[in-house]
Chain A
Amino acid sequence: EVQLVESGGGLVRPGGSLTLSCSTSGFFSSIYAMSWLRQAPGRGLEWVASIRPGGRFIFYTDSVKGRFTISRDSGKTSLSLQMNSLRAEDTAIYYCARALTSDRADYAVQGYWGRGTLVTVSS
C-alpha cells in the first residue's frame, strides 16, 4: 500500500526556518516525481515544488523561489522541504504527493497524497 507521511510542521516566527519531511513506503520512491503542495486555512490548493526522480529537474512556484528547497534523501525513501525566511502567507497545511505513474513528469497529476502537516507562521 502506498503511504506518504509528512512531519515537521509547527509554529514558527516570521523570518524563521522549518524543514518538512515526507516518509514514503509501499513503492520505490526513487523512480517517481514527487511534489509539495499546500493549502492555506479555508483556501484552495497551491502547488509549491516538484522534483524528478533523478533530482536534476526541480521546479518551484514563484512565491517560494530562493526561500524553499525541495530535496530527496540519498536512499530516495523520503522527501524534504527546507523552508527559510518564512512569511505569514506561508501558513498552510503542507502535503507531500507522488506522481500517478513513474513514467510521467506531469506535476499536475498527483496520484497519492499524504495527510498533510500544518505550518503556522506567526509572532
Chain B
Amino acid sequence: QSVLTQPPSASGTPGQRVSMSCSGSTSNIGTRGVAWYQQFPGTAPKLVIYDNDKRPSGVPDRLSGSKSGTSASLAVSGLQSEDEAIYYCATWDDSLDGVIFGAGTKLTVL
C-alpha cells in the first residue's frame, strides 16, 4: 500500500481537461515538492512535472501541476490520444527518509 494515494484511473475525451490527484501527509507532500512521471507500456518513466508546478524542457504546457496542503494534482488540458499513459506522483518523505511514489493513475483517452 502506497504512502501517496492516487486514484487508479481517470479518463476523458479528446480536447477535454482531466485532472488527477495525489494525497499525502505533512511528512511528505505537506513539506516537500512533488514530481510527476509519465510512463508508457514497456518504456522508462519520464519526468513531466517537478517542484509541484515546473515543467522540464520539452514537456508541453498542456500538462500542469499544483499543490495545496498535503495534496497535489496533475492536469492535462486539450487531451490527446498520446497522453494515454500511467502517471505517478513522487516526493521525499521525512519520516521514512526516502522517496515515495503513488501507485499510479492510468489515464485513458476515450
Are these two chains actual partners, yes or no? yes
Report the tally of A-B residue pairs with Cβ distances under 8 A. 67
Which of A10-18, A19-27, A80-88, A106-114 forms part of the interface with chain B? A106-114
Are A61 and B44 touching (Cβ within 8 A)?
Answer: no
Residues from chain B with Cβ under 8 Å of A44 in the complex: 2, 88, 101-104
Residues from chain A with Cβ under 8 Å of B37 in the complex: 45, 110
Range for the number of chain A residues in contact with chain B: 20 to 34
For residue A46, give the distance in angstroms from its CB to the closest CB of chain B: 7
Task: Choose one: B43, B56, B90, B96; the contact of A108 (CB below 8 Å).
Answer: B90
Residues from chain B with Cβ under 8 Å of A95 in the complex: 44-45
Chain B: CB-nearest residue to A105: B92
B79 contacts the other chain (CB 8 A): no
B67 contacts the other chain (CB 8 A): no
A62 contacts the other chain (CB 8 A): yes
B91 contacts the other chain (CB 8 A): yes
Chain A: CB-nearest residue to B32: A108
Are B99 and A111 touching (Cβ within 8 A)?
Answer: no
Q: Which 10 A-B pairs have the closest CB atoms?
A: A47-B99, A113-B44, A109-B50, A108-B90, A45-B101, A108-B99, A44-B104, A44-B103, A108-B35, A109-B35
Q: 29 interchain pairs (CB within 8 A)?
A: A44-B88, A44-B102, A44-B103, A45-B45, A45-B104, A47-B98, A47-B99, A50-B99, A59-B98, A60-B98, A61-B98, A61-B99, A62-B96, A62-B98, A95-B44, A100-B50, A106-B33, A108-B32, A108-B92, A109-B33, A109-B35, A109-B47, A109-B50, A110-B47, A111-B47, A111-B50, A113-B46, A114-B44, A116-B44
